[in-house]
Amino acid sequence: MSYNRNPGTGYVRGSKRKKGPSPLIPIIVIAIGIIAAAGFLAYSLFFGPNRNSDSSRTMPNMEEINFFDHPDNHHLTPGRTYFIINGEIITTHTAPTFIDGRLFLPADFLRAYVDRYIFWEQDARRLTITTIDEVMRFTPDETTYTTNWQPQPLPDPIREIAGMAYMSADMVMARYPVTIVHQEEYGFVIIDLHRYQRRIYNIVEATDEDGAPIVLDDDDFIPLRFGANDQHPIMARLHLGDRVVNLAIAPHEEEDDDIFYRVQAENGLVGYVSAENTSFAEQIAAIPQIEQRRPITQPSFDGPVNLVWHLVTNHASAAHADNWYTMQGVNAISPTWLYFCRPSYDGTIINFGNQQFVNWAHNNGMEVWPMISDAFFSAETGPENFTNEAARLALMDANIRDYIIDQLMDMIIRYNWDGINIDYEAVRPPEGEHFIQFLRELSVPMRQIGAVLSVAVFSPIPDNHWWNYPEIAMASDFVVIMAYDEHYASIGWPGSVSSFPFVQNAVLNMLDLGVPSEQVVTALPTYMRIWVEQFNPDTGAWELLPPGPGGNPLPEFYPHRRMRAVGMAFGRSYMEGRGGEYIWDYNLRQYVSTIYFTHGDIEMRTSAWLNCLRSTSEKLTLYHQHNLGGVAWWRQGLELNPALWVEVDRTINP
């Protein structure tokens, strides 16, 4: 038997017509199905067995899960002791430990969360704590420690385990405003730093719509949940009278959710509890954390610092009286006397100091702040440039650091110096925290004798922020921004040594980092650079000449060299003597000159950005605009003429 579809006539069997079913039947069946499904859904929502009779919400989730079994906590190890601070479990530092039944805390954790001036050096087996007026030193298992190098009894010595120093919880609480509690149930060590406001709540019965308490049976409890609504599983049971710390009001996960608080229970667990089961008990105010700044050691002179560096590379130049001349308004001079001895390689300082120079400077109203740099000296090589090798030697070994500080303090006192200028220019990020530690350890004895500690630093552009300028300021009296070398030999293109925008950004960036304006000294150059380029017809661009050996000219370009640093006076006369004309650049606030010429068949040009009285005066306006601590100059002997010092004095001491 076969069936054929005959369009327009319905189904037929053979040749005999037969009436087919009505086309409305499928539509009616679908409609009935939709109505039935909607009715079932409505019943389930409002009358189903899993709903409260007075609410459209599902029944609370009453599943209980062990804290460490929850997926959010699989990175935690049961049985290990963890720190909890302000509701956060700390996993990034060494764990606390117990020694003879007493709780001990590791130095790396204490440095990160309690006191950033706790400094542990494993190689030296020494833990140092510095304050604005104390250097405290501790050695593992020793029953004495030193404060400013004087021994003190220590009945509770620090310990060392696996290369890490540990302090007892009792010792920490005795020295810092902190409460430490160990909760054995989950192995948490709860740290209350007292710097956070704490709101304490009691766990109470909820109330009904009429305000009457909903009485709990003896077996009932209040759930502490893993999330901020009652569909999250339970991590622990709370009972009436329990106290919790309210950490925050949790965000609602759904519009109709009840309010839940993120709380910390007495056993250290952090979870969520319904606000209706809490009652405010008390508020414990935070203890203000007042940052103690090192009081600035004021120089003997009044008014702003006006410092000049005086280049010295040997005993002969230090004693050469022709290099001694007064500069109007200059009240501090920093001779480059101090280098590290390369042959000894132990931090021994070579001192080119000259007592007659000190006496002369004092008689002419100038303080003497000799400069020490991270540079070696030897009889064979003479003074070397800044090197990371010297920086690492001077900073990374605790005993060498001590030796350097001892030598500096002896020299300051013996030779009647007024201060020290630290100019470590080859420090890299691995040495950064040791540099800060060196300054903090040096600052205490210097402050005790009234000597000024100044630190020369690079311009605080983002690439240099690892220097931690605020900490340098905390440990010193003056932070001297070397606001020059905007363009230098290896940068690849010519430009100003120190344009106004460059200097302005250096000052503003330093202030934005929180360094107090009265500690900021802006160092400006008395030199400039002359640049020589060749035109490359293949690229259509100007290119600096290739560098010659030792900065000397290459034979094919002789006598022209890629770049040369010159004094103000020479730079002006050099360009003007070759027909160059200086044109004022209103953006850079400097005169700029370019001379075009040919060398053989090569098109070349010489360019210079002049440092002069006018451009210097523009930069000095920043001193008054921002109430800075003063100005400095690299270096004596390169200035345009004595008129520079007259102009500087007139500007900063109106």
List all residues 6 or more positions away from 431 whose beta carbon is below 8 Å from its beta carbon.
388, 391, 392, 395, 396
The model's pLDDT over 104-143, given as tens digits with 9 standing for 90+, comes to: 999 999 999 999 999 999 999 999 999 999 999 999 999 9
Distance in angstroms (rounded) separating the CA atoms of residues 43 and 129: 70
Distance in angstroms (rounded) separating the CA atoms of residues 208 and 215: 10
The model's pLDDT over 255-294, given as tens digits with 9 standing for 90+, comes to: 445 799 999 999 999 999 999 999 999 998 888 877 778 8
- Every domain of the chain with CATH number 3.20.20.80 lies at 305-526+614-652
Model pLDDT, residue 288: 81
Mean pLDDT of the 302-322 span: 89
Q: What is the DSSP letter of 262?
A: E
The label of the residue with tokens 């020479």 reads: 570
- Every domain of the chain with CATH number 3.30.457.10 lies at 93-192
Reply yes or no on whether the pLDDT at 16 is more than 70.
no
The model's pLDDT over 520-537, given as tens digits with 9 standing for 90+, comes to: 999 999 999 999 999 999
What's the whole-model pTM score?
Answer: 0.86
Q: What is the DSSP letter of 521?
A: E
Superfamily (CATH H level) for 93-192? Copper amine oxidase-like, N-terminal domain (3.30.457.10)
Q: Give one DSSP letter per residue of 53-87, joined into a string.
A: TT-SSBPPP--B--GGGSGGGTTS-TT--EEEETT
Residue type (1 letter), 74:
H
What's the Cα-to-Cα distance from 10 to each of 4, 19, 29, 412, 644, rounded to whole Å?
Answer: 9, 8, 21, 117, 112
Query: Is the separation of the CB atoms in 82 and 76 below 8 Å?
Result: yes
**What percent of the chain is modeled with pLDDT above 70?**
89
List all residues 6 or more positions away from 399 whose beta carbon is below 8 Å from its beta carbon.
124
User: pLDDT band for position 31 (50/70/90)?
Assistant: low
Domain 305-526+614-652 is found in CATH 3.20.20.80: yes
Model pLDDT, residue 551: 79
- Partnered with residue 543 across adjacent β-strands are 534
